[in-house]
Amino acid sequence: MATDIRHQPENGYHSEPTQPYPTDNLNRRSLMRLPRSLSAVETSGFGLTGHANWFTIATAIQAAIGPSAIFIWLPGIIMGMMLNLQVKRIGEYFPDMAGGTPNYTARLLKNYPGLGSYAAIGYFLSWVSTLPISAIVLTQLIKVNLNSLGFRCPETLLNITFTLLPFILTFSGTRALSILLAFFVLPTVGVLSVFSIHGLLWLAFSSNSPGFFPTIWPEFTFIDWAKWFYFATYIFYCCDSAASFVADSRNPTKTLQFLKISALAMLPVILGGAWVLMRLATAPDLKDDVFLNVLAACQVLWGPWVPTLVTFLVVASCLLSCATIVSNCPRMLYQLAVDGHISPTFAVVSRRGVFGFGLVFVLVLSLICLAWGNVPRLVAITNVGLVVCLMMFHLSLWLRRDQPEVRWPGWSLGFFVVDAVVLVVGGLAWGWQDFIIGLFFPLAVLAVDAGISRIAFAPFHPSWWIRLYRNRSKSKMPDFVAFQVVILILLIVSAVAVGWIFGFKLYANSTVGLNLFVVLLVTVAFIGVAVACWTSLPQVVSMEEAREGAEQLFTIALDGIVVLDENGVIRQTNPAAESVFGIDSTGLIGSYLNKLLPRLGDQPEQWLSRSEQTFNFSDGSSRILEVAISDRFSQDASLSNQDLQQYVAIVRDITDRKQAQEALQKANEELEIKVEERTSELTHTVEQLQNEIEERQRIEENLRAMQNQIIVQEKLASLGSLTAGIAHEIRNPLNFVNNFSEVSAELTEELLQEIENQTERLEPETSEYIAELLTDLKANLQKINQHGQRADRIVGNMLLHSRGQSGHWEATDINTLLEEYVNLAYHGMRAKEASFNIIIKSGYDNDIGKVEVVPQDISRVFLNIINNACYAAHKKKQEMGEEFSPQLDVRTRNLGSAVEIRIRDNGPGMTPDVLDKIFNPFFTTKPAGEGTGLGLSMSHDIIVQQHRGELKVETEVGNYTEFIITLQKKIVEVKD
């Protein structure tokens, strides 16, 4: 049954060091924390490397003992499968351990730390040696093809290049390698799986099959068996490498589950593939050449076109092996350092999973092995440490056979005996000198490690690497995309140049040329993916770190935080919110916040940004909460979907603070009473005098304020009376003009009719001339009447505005009212400034309907704001001259339950200092005598306090100022 292993105890095991090492007074916990950055798919790629490399060992075994190699593979695969399952069980008890089998061995042998360190370092060295071996195999493949074309192969350069290549990528982080492996390992293992399964079926059922079983089994001795079992140990036991990355995995359970899949895949892929290779690659001239043996077997199954595919398999398997080694080896050193077996410098890891010192150490050892260059001796020497580690692993399982993490302790004891026999018999069969060197090789490495911690060289100490990683985390590549493009272009140009230089000879030998092309293509693809990961992943990791930091802050915040959808329903909550409300997350999620806090209101957009609320518990008690509501935001800024918009509410319990304030206030009151009782009469008299002085000052301030208000009201009343008087005086002659123009038009119509009736008595020319005159006269009289009516409406608006007192609430057509006051303000400015002229743009939403307002007060607001807009645009016109065109833009918009009115001018705009004061009484930017400073203050009171609306200002210095009025409306149906 699958369980969450992240919270399981380690059954008494801990990661405290068993040997003291200096740490430069550094925090070991922060030093040795591996970031869990890998997905289960990425970690599984490391567990398939052994499946992709089996044929590099199989050809040598088959060349030596023929079909009898099956007796090597069969028990070895069984032991490897059982090792995978045992490692999976141990990993469930040590989910924070990196390095896999060697580090589990050291942990299980905690009572024998020296033996555990020796075994783990021996295992580590066997992996290190495989890196230069893979580089040499790749170089030999290229050399064979180049020699057939007559070219000289730069072996040293290629060996060093293939050795350094995976290190360059590894220094950019673990995720780059994990993605690279996932990119290449799946097609490689997939082709090998098809080869194995197809080959087995072909051997069993094809009429051309040489037979599923060989007719002759060559004889071989027990020493031969032990020798080649010793040689193949790396393949049997390397399929558990996914366990090395459990500490990096975001889901350790799935990573460990892959060990079971890896174990089962060993049967068809490795055992089946080795059997097919043994039955189909039987020509004696093939010897132990990897390429030729695999090519011969594939050609039997798939025809003559397979050289390219075989080349791909060899190249991809070697590159995969290199990538896995440079990822796994530093982790072995890291965990040994964490457990106190080696220098703590190996435990320093960057936030992106880079083991700088460990990688440098592995690189130095790899170059030493590469310089030696003797592949058989390298295998013979380093396999000593590998087999010793596996012996100690099985022995530790037997010694801890009563612990729950141990499976099949009896089998483990048997495997210990088998490994011991293979070590002695097989190891000595390869040469007693190499056997002795292999026994002392781990001791030499441990001696070097002991010297590292004692040498006063900065890179040998953790503090140097920590400072390096901190400085690197602060530096960012300004344009990593451009860097990617440049590198990829260089790769393409290099590939084209190589193809052009060797093209004529490649054309002459198409098979060899195609093989070299595949090598080049796979290598360039490897480097291309590496560059893409190297340059892109740091940016992705930075974003992931920011996201994880925000999630951590959300979790550990002391204040309650709830995320709400657009309807106010709780969708996410943190532990502090559960504590504040006394409800767990399952009870909070899906609840309406305004049901828990009724005083918030109905709709989230109407909630105050900050308020104090009372929360009542089911037992009758209550708490006082301070609630802060954010503006609505979108989960994904790239999406405009309103369904994803949310609010964040921060809830803080301030009950104790309120109670403390009340207690403090009460204590202060009691203290004041006691002080008053004990103070002398003189002090009491001084306090009274001081209170009287303060009261007098307040009264004087109130009087001055009332005086200013009365003066302003008198000015407004006088201005209103003057406006009303002028309007009345103008209305009398206007009425005369309007009335007599209508009567004159009617008389003209009658006269014209009479003339038409007397046409026969008059001369035609005279009659036509008189008719034309009367027609023109009638048209002029109608124009006089139209303009008179217009002037009468303006005068009517002046009278309405001059009344000065609020009227009644009534349904009002905002569009019509706004249009009238635009005209009134325009003509008012024309009366003051003869040169005034402005372009008026309007956009009225006809779906608004009528709104319940006080028309007189709303009209005053419109006039004030429009006058200010016209004034500002006109002043800018005077400053800039003819190159500037003043504009006034007036628009309305239906918001459903509200109406939005926007009045915008293209004047000079407002500075932040002016914007903060525009609604203050008596504040004005106009010169003395041109403004009272009350217009916007009164407008704000009318909109916000009287009509419960909003009055906002948006401005940009030098470009525009826009007033935005929002009025709640109640639609009134009006019959036509």
pLDDT tens, residue by residue, 532-551 = 555 555 555 566 666 666 67
Give the mean model confidence (pLDDT) for residues 509-516.
Answer: 49
The most confident of 46-60, 922-936, 939-953, by mean pLDDT: 939-953
What are 349's two structure tokens? 């890891």
Q: What is the reported pLDDT for 459? A: 84
Give the mean model confidence (pLDDT) for residues 291-311.
Answer: 79
Residue 639 pLDDT > 60: no
Residue 710 pLDDT > 80: no
What are 257's two structure tokens? 């589950």
Residue 333 pLDDT > 80: yes
Residue 622 pLDDT > 60: yes
Give the mean model confidence (pLDDT) for residues 317-321.
Answer: 79
Residue 832 pLDDT > 70: yes
Mean pLDDT, the chain, integer: 78
Instruction: List pLDDT tens digits, range 92-103.
Output: 988 888 888 999
How is residue 569 annotated by DSSP? B
DSSP 399-430: HTTTSTT---HHHHHHHHHHHHHIIIIIHHHT
Q: What is the reported pLDDT for 245? A: 87
195-209, 455-469, 920-934: which has the minimum mean pLDDT? 920-934
Residue 880: band (very low, low, confident or very high) from pLDDT cuts 50, 70, 90: confident
Give the mean model confidence (pLDDT) for residues 267-282.
Answer: 88
Cβ 363 vs Cβ 171: under 8 Å: no
Cβ 572 vs Cβ 563: under 8 Å: yes
Residue 641: band (very low, low, confident or very high) from pLDDT cuts 50, 70, 90: very low
The most confident of 11-20, 729-738, 830-839, by mean pLDDT: 830-839
Give the mean model confidence (pLDDT) for residues 27-35.
Answer: 53
Please tell me which residue, 28 or 588, carries the higher pLDDT value.
588
Instruction: List pLDDT tens digits, range 80-134.
Output: 999 999 999 999 988 888 888 999 999 999 889 999 999 999 999 988 888 888 8
Give the mean model confidence (pLDDT) for residues 698-714.
Answer: 65
Residue 491 pLDDT > 60: no
Three-state DSSP state, 94: coil
Please tell me which residue, 327 or 417, carries the higher pLDDT value.
417
Give the mean model confidence (pLDDT) for residues 59-75.
Answer: 86
Residue 4 pLDDT > 50: no
Q: What is the reported pLDDT for 443? A: 92
Q: What is the reported pLDDT for 115? A: 92
Q: Say what percent of the chain tops pLDDT 90.
A: 11
Residue 851 pLDDT > 70: yes
Residue 564: band (very low, low, confident or very high) from pLDDT cuts 50, 70, 90: confident
Residue 971: band (very low, low, confident or very high) from pLDDT cuts 50, 70, 90: very low
Cβ 848 vs Cβ 894: under 8 Å: yes
Rounded to an integer, what distance in angstroms lies between the CA atom of residue 587 and that of residue 581? 10
Please tell me which residue, 782 or 864, carries the higher pLDDT value.
864
Instruction: List pLDDT tens digits, range 803-830.
Output: 544 568 888 888 988 988 888 888 877 7
Residue 918 pLDDT > 70: yes
The partner residues of 267 in beta bridges, in order of sequence, read: none
Residue 390: band (very low, low, confident or very high) from pLDDT cuts 50, 70, 90: very high
Residue 312: band (very low, low, confident or very high) from pLDDT cuts 50, 70, 90: confident
User: What does the buried/exposed string (b/e) look like for 6-37 if buried means 16 or more CB atoms within 10 Å of the residue's CB?
Assistant: eeeeeeebebebbeebebeebebeebbebbbb
Q: Give φ, ψ of 928 to 5 degrees.
A: -60, 135
Instruction: List pLDDT tens digits, range 259-269.
Output: 898 899 889 98
720 burial via Cβ count (<10 Å: 0-12, 13-18, 19+): middle
Residue 22 pLDDT > 60: no
| CA–CA distances in Å: residue 778 to residues 296, 752, 771, 788 | 113, 9, 10, 15
Rounded to an integer, what distance in angstroms lies between the CA atom of residue 658 and that of residue 614? 12
Angle (deg, nearest 10), helices 70-93 and 222-237: 40
Question: Which residues fall within 8 angstroms of residue 381, CB to CB, at 6 or more apart?
Answer: 129, 434, 437, 438, 441
187-196, 375-384, 641-650: which has the minimum mean pLDDT? 641-650
Rounded to an integer, what distance in angstroms lies between the CA atom of residue 651 and that of residue 625? 6
| CA–CA distances in Å: residue 30 to residues 33, 466, 616 | 6, 10, 43
Q: What is the reported pLDDT for 29? A: 39
Residue 67: band (very low, low, confident or very high) from pLDDT cuts 50, 70, 90: confident
Residue 488 pLDDT > 70: no
Residue 501 pLDDT > 60: no
The partner residues of 905 in beta bridges, in order of sequence, read: 888, 961
Residue 164 pLDDT > 50: yes
| CA–CA distances in Å: residue 34 to residues 108, 341, 355, 464 | 21, 18, 10, 18
Give the mean model confidence (pLDDT) for residues 37-58.
Answer: 80
Residue 1 pLDDT > 70: no
Q: What is the reported pLDDT for 902? A: 95
Angle (deg, nearest 10), helices 101-108 and 375-399: 40
Q: What is the reported pLDDT for 389? A: 92
Q: Say what percent of the chain tops pLDDT 70.
A: 77
Please tell me which residue, 828 or 426, carries the higher pLDDT value.
426
Q: What is the reported pLDDT for 706? A: 63
Contacts of range 730-736, beta carbons closer than 8 Å, 24 or more positions apart: 730/791, 730/795, 731/792, 731/795, 731/799, 734/788, 734/791, 734/792, 734/795, 735/792
Rounded to an integer, what distance in angstroms lies between the CA atom of residue 412 and that of residue 90? 14
Cβ 385 vs Cβ 121: under 8 Å: yes
Please tell me which residue, 137 or 722, carries the higher pLDDT value.
137
Residue 481 pLDDT > 60: no
Rounded to an integer, what distance in angstroms lies between the CA atom of residue 836 and that of residue 519? 82
What are 872's two structure tokens? 């500002």
Instruction: List pLDDT tens digits, range 883-910.
Output: 888 999 999 999 888 999 999 999 898 8
Contacts of range 206-215, beta carbons closer than 8 Å, 24 or more positions apart: 210/279, 210/280, 210/282, 211/279, 212/279, 214/66, 214/67, 214/278, 214/279
Q: What is the reported pLDDT for 397? A: 92
Instruction: List pLDDT tens digits, range 648-705.
Output: 888 888 888 888 888 888 888 888 787 777 776 666 676 777 777 877 777 777 676 6
